[in-house]
């Protein structure tokens, strides 16, 4: 009986030690637990549903600044699916913090459906001012411009609360929600379980921030092959980067392929 009790205690302590190591690692890698790798390209297929075809072979290319922060996501197709542009652009301050994000943008980044401006108040609050249907050169302007004769951009305000690990745990205002993480650092979602492999968003904090998902591990059912860093290189689908319509049930493998630049 004593032996069984000892083994139970040892197992419990081992679990606590393992969890502590996970949290320590997250604390020591604020840019992401896989910050030794950067996503270079994501290739995939999508179906032009508006024109009833064809299947488009597309590639998202991610560009970075000298600090290793992503500054743009551009698609080889141009990034337009149905009537929506899908390119992305990002700006940072001197503290390496995301201060602006152009979402659903044209390739020249002179228009985006959503232009986010972020202001950091204190250590755990981020205010997101979002301009809807925004015009203006994203990289040279501080905010969108008003074009004579066109409707002014709608403005939406949200407030994000961060926990001690820098993760969004609460959103109030235009975007509302709460976000809970389990003992090993994965977002608790209905019917979602996780592998022991690394979540692709852990390659940079910007991906986690815009997705509001800081999960340490990759979800079950997405990737079919991983690299030596436990990051997905082949997948049936993968969040954030693939765009356009795809029905795996009738169309089969979307053939998502990811390449990285690793240290």
Longest dimension (CA), the chain: 82
What does the alpha-carbon distance between residue 259 and residue 227 come to, in Å, rounded to a whole number?
10
Contact residues for 135 (Cβ-Cβ < 8 A; gap 6+): 110, 111, 144, 145, 146, 147, 150, 153
Q: Which two tokens stand for residue 92?
A: 């940072």
The larger pLDDT score, comparing residue 31 to residue 247, is at 247
Q: pLDDT tens, 116-141?
A: 999 999 889 999 999 999 999 999 99
Q: How many CB atoms lie within 10 A of CB 60?
A: 24
Beta strand pairing call for 80-81 and 70-75: unpaired
CB 199, CB 176: distance < 8 Å: no
CB 68, CB 95: distance < 8 Å: no
The secondary element (H helix, E strand) that includes residue 21 is: helix 2-28
Q: pLDDT tens, 145-163?
A: 999 888 888 999 999 999 9
Query: What are the b/e assignments for 180-201, b being 16+ CB within 10 Å?
Result: ebeeebbbeeeeeebbebbbbb
Write down the residue that tokens 């905010």 correspond to.
143
Q: pLDDT tens, 68-97?
A: 999 999 999 999 998 899 999 999 999 999
């Amino acid at each position: 009986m004593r032996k069984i009790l000892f083994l139970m205690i040892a197992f419990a302590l081992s679990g606590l030690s393992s969890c502590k190591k996970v949290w320590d690692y997250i604390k020591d890698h604020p840019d992401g637990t896989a910050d030794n790798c950067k996503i270079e390209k994501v290739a995939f297929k999508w179906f032009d549903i508006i024109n009833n075809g064809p299947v488009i072979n597309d590639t998202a290319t991610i560009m970075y600044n000298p600090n290793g922060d992503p500054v743009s996501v551009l698609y080889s197709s141009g990034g337009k699916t149905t009537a929506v542009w899908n390119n992305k652009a990002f700006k940072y301050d001197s503290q390496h913090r995301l201060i602006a994000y152009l979402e659903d943008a044209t390739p020249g980044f002179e228009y985006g459906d959503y232009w986010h401006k972020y202001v950091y108040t204190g250590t755990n609050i981020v205010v997101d001012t979002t301009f809807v249907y925004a015009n203006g050169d994203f990289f040279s302007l501080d905010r969108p411009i008003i074009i004579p004769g066109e409707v002014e951009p709608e403005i939406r305000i949200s407030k994000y609360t961060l926990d001690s690990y820098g993760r969004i745990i609460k959103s109030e205002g235009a975007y509302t929600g709460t976000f809970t993480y389990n003992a090993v650092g994965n977002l608790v979602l209905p019917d979602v379980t996780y592998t022991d492999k690394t979540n692709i968003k852990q390659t940079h904090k910007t991906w986690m921030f815009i997705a509001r998902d800081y999960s340490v591990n990759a979800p079950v059912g997405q990737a079919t092959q991983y690299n030596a860093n436990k990051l997905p290189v082949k997948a049936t689908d993968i969040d954030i980067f693939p765009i356009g319509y795809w029905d795996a049930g009738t169309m089969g493998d979307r053939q998502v392929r990811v390449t990285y630049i690793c240290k």
